[in-house]
Structures are given as structure tokens and as C-alpha cells.
């Protein structure tokens, strides 16, 4: 059953997202980003909003907030195989928040990520508000060749995941526990987990190289691995087998999971905020993709394969087929 957010998106798409033939829209509403034909070059556009109290703690460091607000958009561009070029920034600032130190930290955090891609801020808006601190970023990039798309997975494709899964979800779980004053024993790797939550790594270089190699299908992992895999399966009208033993786990997360299925499920399978990529590609690209992963210093794991649609989603762990969790990932409510 679709969430309220996705139902609203469908209504807006059907009512407002229909244009005239030949208007230059190559990919519209329904993927990680839009792709527009601009005189022979493909422009990729996406936007995301982060709201205090919903997407981040109100006392977050401004440098970390700037990094993440930009990173979540760059991850969407990566999911299409695009090269980032420009960004727009909108800030709704409660009175008294954006002092000199806050502004300097925000700029520093933005530059720390944007400079890696020579990304230029070209506009936006600022407004004071009686509501929560809100950051909206729109990112624009260019694309050579066909975009990676959710609807391009084919039967027999291998399913890959970049990086590691579940770190941000565990870090957030521990942060909430600490704020409630609950016992929260230190783990080796706490700093790593928190860094993964606050400063995710957009997999741009890998995605661009994979797209140029001939990969067809990708999706960024924001709401949880299973939830975002479902977008691919629904759009491509296919099923999947997932080998949960192969899910990439960082050492601190693996130590915390320690063979516990419930912990693995709520972190690596259904936890959100990873901003890694799910990639589907034919087995013929397996060796070349691993070479691309090495060249771009991107951890890459094969975690399953695409099945016929009637197979649904089959989940295996420790040589047993496991029931699908009731909750596949973050549920968007309005």
C-alpha cells in the first residue's frame, strides 16, 4: 500500500506532470531525478528538503547539516549516472539561528563536499521563519548517454550495493537512546557510525563510470535497502532474490549484529539514510564493474539477482529463506 507521500506524488504527476510531446522531458516524475533534453545535452535535476525535528536534530552542527543537505542531492544525481555542476540553496531560518558562527560553519561544510566536484552555487533564497530550520537544495548535472533508471532492471541481472548498509540507522538509533537518557554502551567504531549518518558519501565517480560502461539501472538508498529495491522491482516489473549474508556491513555494525537476524533486518535491510547505490547489471559486466569499483575506491558487493516478477522478493540468510519484514524501510507520512 503506497504511503501518503507517494500517493500525493502520483496525484501531482498525473495532474501537473504531463506536458506536450517534444517538450524535452526525457525522464519525468518517478525516478531519482528528472532528465531534460537541452539542445542535445541531457540536464539532470533533483531537489530535496531537510527539516529540523524530522530529518535532523535541531542542534546539529551547521557544517554537518550543509554537507548532508548537498550530499542527499548528489546521491540522486549519482543514481542517474550524472556529473554534478550547479546547485540552488533555499534556507528558512528561525530568528536568531543564523549568526556569524553558524553561517561560517555552514559554508565550510558545503565547500568541503562541493569542492570535490567543482560544484557551483548559482542561486536560491533565504527567509526568516517562526517554524523549524529548513534547508532545500536543488542540484543540476549533465549526462552523456542513457541515464541509469529504476525501470531498466532485467531478469538475470546481478544486484549490487555500494559501500556499507545500516551504519546511519544504527547511529540514529543510538542517538535517540542517548537523548532519552537510556543506557548506551560505547561501541568500537561509534565515530565511524556517526560520520556515516552525518556525512554520507555520494557515489558519483563510480556511478558515472558504471553508466559509461553500459550499466542500465540504479537507485539510491535513502529509505532503506528493501524499500528502495522495491522501487526498482515495481518500475521494472521484476522480482528478486537477496542473499542477506552478502549485505556489506562495516566492522562496527557487523559486531553489533553478531548473527542476530532482527538486528540485521532493522539496520542493513530496512534502515535509512545510507545514501549508497543499488545497481542492477548483466553478469557480463561483473568483472568490469569490480574494476570500476577499484578505480574509484568504491566498495561494491553483489547481493542478489533479478528474478521473474511472479517470484516476488525472496530473502535468504544462513542457508534459510526468511520471511519479509512487515516494514521494508522508512514510511513517509504527510
Q: Residue 87 domain-assigned?
A: yes
36, 238, 245 from 320: Cα distances, Å: 45, 22, 11
What's the rounded Cα separation, in Å, for the pair 275 and 225?
10
Yes or no: say if 158 and 242 are a contact pair by the CB < 8 Å rule: no
Q: In what order do the strands lie in the sheet with 41-51?
A: 25-27, 34-38, 41-51, 134-143, 83-94, 120-129
Determine whether 96 is exposed, middle or buried from the number of CB atoms within 10 Å of its CB (0-12, 13-18, 19+).
exposed
Q: Could you say which of 143, 160, 191 is where a domain stops?
A: 143
Helix, strand, coil percentages (3-state) for the chain, rounded to 5, are 40, 30, 35
> Does residue 297 sit in the same domain as residue 156?
yes
User: What does the pLDDT read at residue 277?
Assistant: 98
> Does residue 133 sit in the same domain as residue 236?
no
For residue range 209-264, what is the model confidence (pLDDT) as tens digits?
999 999 999 999 999 999 999 999 999 999 999 999 999 999 999 999 999 999 99
For residue range 132-190, what is the model confidence (pLDDT) as tens digits?
999 999 999 999 889 999 999 999 999 999 999 999 999 988 888 777 777 666 565 68
CA-based nearest residue to 224, from 279, 260, 268, 262: 268
> Does residue 229 sit in the same domain as residue 297?
yes
What whole-number percentage of the chain has pLDDT above 70?
88
User: What does the pLDDT read at residue 260?
Assistant: 93
Among the listed ranges 49-63, 241-255, 285-299, which one has the minimum average pLDDT value? 49-63
DSSP string covering 171-182: HHHHHHHHHTT-
Which parts of 10-106 are beta strand (E)? 25-27, 34-38, 41-51, 83-94
What's the rounded Cα separation, in Å, for the pair 74 and 203?
8
User: What does the pLDDT read at residue 188?
Assistant: 57
Give the CATH number for residue 217.
3.90.650.10
Domain of residue 109: give its range. 4-143
Q: Could you say which of 78, 113, 143 is where a domain stops?
A: 143
> Does residue 117 sit in the same domain as residue 169?
no
Yes or no: say if 127 and 93 are a contact pair by the CB < 8 Å rule: yes
Sign of the torsion formed by the C-alpha atoms of 15, 17, 23 and 27: negative
The packing angle between helices 62-80 and 204-213, to 10°, is 0
Q: Residue 235 domain-assigned?
A: yes
Q: What is the separation, in whole angstroms, between the first and last Cα of the chain? A: 15
- C-alpha cell at position 154: 532485467
Instruction: Give 95's pLDDT tier (boundaries 50, 70, 90).
Output: confident
β 313-317/320-322 pair status: antiparallel
CA 218 to chain CA mean position, Å: 10
Yes or no: say if 213 and 288 are a contact pair by the CB < 8 Å rule: yes
> Does residue 83 sit in the same domain as residue 212?
no
> Does residue 139 sit in the same domain as residue 154?
no
Q: Residue 332 domain-assigned?
A: no
In 3-state terms, what secondary structure has residue 233? Answer: helix
Give the CATH number for residue 117.
3.30.1330.10
Beta bridge partners of 123: 88
CA-angle at 268, arms to 265 and 270, nearest 5°: 60
Query: What per-residue string of b and e applies to 15-39 under the rule 16 or more CB within 10 Å gives b?
Result: eeeeeeeeeebebeeebbbbbbeee
> Does residue 21 sit in the same domain as residue 168?
no
Amino acid at each position: 500500500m503506497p504511503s501518503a507521500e507517494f500517493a500525493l506524488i502520483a496525484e501531482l504527476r498525473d495532474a501537473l506532470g504531463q506536458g506536450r510531446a517534444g517538450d524535452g522531458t526525457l525522464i519525468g516524475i518517478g525516478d531519482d531525478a528528472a532528465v531534460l533534453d537541452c539542445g542535445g545535452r541531457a540536464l539532470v535535476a533533483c531537489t530535496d528538503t531537510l527539516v529540523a525535528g524530522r530529518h535532523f536534530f535541531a542542534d546539529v552542527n551547521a557544517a554537518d547539516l550543509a554537507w548532508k543537505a548537498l550530499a542527499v542531492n548528489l546521491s540522486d544525481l549519482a543514481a542517474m549516472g550524472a556529473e554534478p555542476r550547479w546547485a540552488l540553496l533555499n534556507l528558512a531560518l528561525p530568528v536568531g539561528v543564523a549568526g556569524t558562527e553558524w553561517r561560517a560553519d555552514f559554508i565550510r561544510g558545503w565547500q568541503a563536499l562541493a569542492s570535490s566536484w567543482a560544484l557551483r552555487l548559482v542561486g536560491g533564497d533565504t527567509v526568516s521563519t517562526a517554524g523549524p530550520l529548513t534547508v532545500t537544495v536543488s542540484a543540476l548535472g549533465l549526462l552523456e548517454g542513457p541515464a541509469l533508471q529504476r525501470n531498466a532492471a532485467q531478469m538475470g541481472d546481478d544486484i549490487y550495493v555500494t559501500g556499507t548498509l545500516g551504519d546511519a540507522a544504527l547511529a540514529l538509533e543510538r542517538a535517540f537512546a542517548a537523548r532519552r537518557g537510556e543506557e548506551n554502551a560505547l561501541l568500537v567504531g561509534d565515530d565511524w557510525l556517526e560520520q556515516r549518518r552525518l556525512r554520507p558519501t555520494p557515489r558519483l565517480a563510480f556511478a558515472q563510470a558504471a553508466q559509461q560502461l553500459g550499466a542500465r539501472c540504479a537507485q539510491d538508498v535513502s529509505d532503506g535497502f528493501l524499500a528502495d529495491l522495491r522501487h526498482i522491482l515495481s518500475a521494472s516489473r521484476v522480482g528478486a532474490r537477496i542473499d542477506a549474508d552478502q549485505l556489506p556491513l562495516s566492522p562496527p555494525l557487523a559486531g553489533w549484529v553478531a548473527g542476530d537476524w532482527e538486528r540485521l533486518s532493522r539496520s542493513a535491510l530496512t534502515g535509512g539514510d545510507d545514501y549508497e547505490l543499488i545497481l542492477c547489471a548483466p553478469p557480463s559486466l561483473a568483472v568490469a564493474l569490480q574494476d570500476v569499483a577499484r578505480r574509484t575506491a568504491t566498495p561494491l558487493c553483489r547481493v542478489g539477482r533479478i528474478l521473474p516478477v511472479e517470484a516476488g522478493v525472496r530473502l535468504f540468510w544462513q542457508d534459510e529463506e526468511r520471511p519479509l519484514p512487515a516494514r521494508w524501510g522508512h514510511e513517509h507520512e504527510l
